[in-house]
């Protein structure tokens, strides 16, 4: 039996690997010339850095299983440094990994945080990490900012909810339901960050070698016959037929290849809010002092580039020069306007905002590069989980096609791998093991 997989991100490559292990013939089509999708590694003069997906978490079961299979588990390295806020008054707050009390929240804010952790994570419905399954709780119908809407919650909104929303989805909390916040809080509460010494994308690099990928093969649309998907038409008009197709694309790309028979599925993908990522990268002529991997300007200042990650402090093995390399991050809706700006304008704005996080940094820049990822992360506003669940119910009735994506599990690499695992299980059920 042959399975056609559209997309060579982690969901597509994991699907291909598991199906190949089960004895299926697989063909992976990728429109670009490289694997990994939103997992991207940039290299300059021997220094490497992650400019797409940034971390694994210690509870990423499927991802860790794949690392074992690819024999790269020895490359895993914990992120041990601190995060820092530089406030409007010039003062600095440093929080090492595992900090349980944030003085910026005050006693009341910390107590409310602990109560919500206990209430939603200990007493609430069991959370299945990185999967979206029935039943969807009522917290999907509530905006996180409506839940923390008192004046006494201001510090919580500024210094915990806002950074967590930005870190989880590259969007502000205005785009986040209470349920997605709870799930993100769950991830950060029970796990910590892990990276790979050769970059996050080294996992997809190895998977691509194991399964084989046909690069430069953009798909125009799925092909249907008698109500069943039987393959895909490429942009060059070739048709690739298969017994089953797995669509493993970002939401915008998936929408474009839906035929008219799958109009409802196309509308679902078109309705997903996602954030593009125009990213300035600063290569410094020195290491920054201390073991700080994450720099924030005061969130209340609402700058364009809100935070920076120092790759040298995050994963020292990736920067043999010993010099700091920083990526600068903006969020929706500003990313939509930034996407249209020139590289020089992005660099200029990043320099201005960087000086608020790290005074004097403009004098230490050796080189600047601009990286642009058109589809970074999906957003989960009110009702998003129910919409995903409704889509999954409809997709179960479709013939000849399954879907794998970060969107279907909560926008991270384990969500992508988990959705691939589910898609493979469905293929094996439909076609037989």
Q: What pLDDT is stored for residue 202 in this prediction?
A: 97
Q: What pLDDT is stored for residue 99 in this prediction?
A: 85
What residue spans define the domains of the chain?
2-38+201-272+380-431, 41-58+73-80+275-377, 100-191
Determine contact, residues 405/419, Cβ cutoff 8 Å: yes
Q: Which residue has the higher pLDDT, 106 or 122?
A: 106
Look-up of token digits 């300007």:
297
Residue 176: other Cβ atoms inside 10 A: 26
At residue 114, the 3 state secondary structure works out as helix
Backbone angles phi and psi of 8, in degrees to 5: -110, 35
- Band (pLDDT 50/70/90 cuts) for residue 206 is very high
The model's pLDDT over 43-94, given as tens digits with 9 standing for 90+, comes to 999 999 999 999 999 999 999 999 999 999 999 999 999 999 999 999 999 9
The model's pLDDT over 87-120, given as tens digits with 9 standing for 90+, comes to 999 999 999 988 889 999 999 999 999 898 888 8
Concatenated DSSP letters of 301-321: G--SS-EEEEHHHH-GGG-TT
Give the HSE-up count for residue 389: Cα atoms under 13 Å, Cβ half-sphere. Answer: 12
Using the predicted structure, report yes or no on whether residue 433 has a pLDDT greater than 80.
no
Give me the architecture of the 2-38+201-272+380-431 domain, per CATH.
3-Layer(bba) Sandwich (3.50)
Concatenated DSSP letters of 217-233: --EEEEEEETTEEEEEE
DSSP conformation class of 286: S
The candidate with the shortest Cα–Cα distance to 201, out of 417, 9, 71, 409, is: 9
Q: In angstroms, how far apart are the furthest CA atoms of the chain?
A: 67
Domain 2-38+201-272+380-431 and domain 41-58+73-80+275-377 have a common topology = no
- Band (pLDDT 50/70/90 cuts) for residue 161 is very high
At residue 387, the 3 state secondary structure works out as helix
Mean pLDDT, all residues of the chain: 95
Task: Pull the structure tokens for residue 40.
Answer: 């991207």
Residue 263: other Cβ atoms inside 10 A: 10
Superfamily of domain 41-58+73-80+275-377: Protoporphyrinogen oxidase, mitochondrial; domain 2 (3.90.660.20)
Q: What pLDDT is stored for residue 117 in this prediction?
A: 85
Average pLDDT of span 207-219: 98
Average pLDDT of span 312-332: 96
DSSP conformation class of 176: B
- The per-residue b/e assignment along 183-195, b for 16 or more CB within 10 angstroms, e otherwise, is bbbbbeeebebbb
CA 38 – CA 413 distance, rounded (Å): 9
Using the predicted structure, report yes or no on whether residue 287 has a pLDDT greater than 80.
yes
- Please state the pTM of the whole predicted model: 0.95
């Amino acid at each position: 039996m042959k399975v056609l997989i559209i997309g060579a991100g982690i969901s597509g490559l994991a699907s291909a690997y598991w199906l190949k292990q089960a004895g299926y013939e697989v063909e992976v089509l990728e429109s670009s010339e490289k694997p990994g999708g939103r997992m991207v590694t940039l290299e300059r003069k021997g220094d490497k850095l992650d400019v797409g997906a940034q971390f694994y978490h210690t509870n990423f079961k499927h991802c860790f299983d794949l690392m074992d299979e690819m024999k790269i588990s020895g490359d895993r390295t914990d992120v041990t440094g601190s995060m820092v806020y530089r406030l409007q008054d010039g003062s600095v707050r440093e929080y090492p990994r595992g900090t349980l009390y944030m003085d910026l929240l005050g006693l009341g804010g910390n107590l409310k945080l602990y109560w919500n952790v206990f209430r939603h994570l200990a007493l609430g419905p069991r959370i299945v990490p990185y999967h979206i399954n029935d039943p969807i709780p009522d917290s999907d119908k509530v905006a996180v900012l409506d839940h923390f809407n008192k004046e006494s919650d201001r510090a919580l909104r500024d210094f915990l909810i806002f950074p967590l929303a930005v870190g989880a989805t590259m969007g502000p909390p205005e785009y986040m339901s209470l349920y997605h916040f709870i799930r993100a809080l769950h991830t950060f509460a029970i796990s910590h960050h892990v990276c790979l010494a050769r970059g996050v994308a080294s996992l997809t690099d190895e998977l691509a070698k194991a399964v084989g990928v046909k690069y430069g093969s953009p798909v125009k649309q799925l092909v249907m016959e008698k109500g069943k998907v039987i393959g895909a038409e490429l942009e060059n008009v070739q048709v690739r037929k298969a017994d089953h197709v797995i669509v493993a694309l970002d939401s915008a790309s998936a929408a474009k290849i839906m035929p008219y028979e799958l109009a409802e599925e196309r509308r679902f993908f078109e309705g997903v809010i996602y954030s593009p990522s125009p990213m300035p990268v600063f290569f410094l002529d020195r290491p920054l002092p201390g073991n700080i991997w994450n720099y924030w300007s005061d969130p209340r200042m609402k700058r364009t580039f809100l935070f920076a990650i120092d790759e040298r402090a995050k994963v020292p093995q990736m920067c043999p020069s010993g010099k700091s390399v920083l990526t600068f991050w903006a969020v929706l809706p500003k990313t939509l306007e930034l996407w249209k700006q020139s590289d020089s304008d992005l660099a200029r704005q990043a320099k201005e905002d960087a000086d608020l996080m790290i005074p004097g940094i403009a004098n230490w820049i050796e080189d600047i590069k601009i990286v642009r990822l058109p589809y970074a992360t999906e957003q989960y506003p009110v009702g998003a989980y129910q919409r995903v669940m409704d889509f999954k119910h409809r997709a179960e009735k479709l013939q000849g096609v399954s879907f794998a994506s970060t969107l279907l599990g909560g926008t991270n690499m384990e969500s992508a791998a988990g959705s691939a695992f589910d898609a493979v299980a469905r293929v094996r059920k439909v076609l037989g093991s």
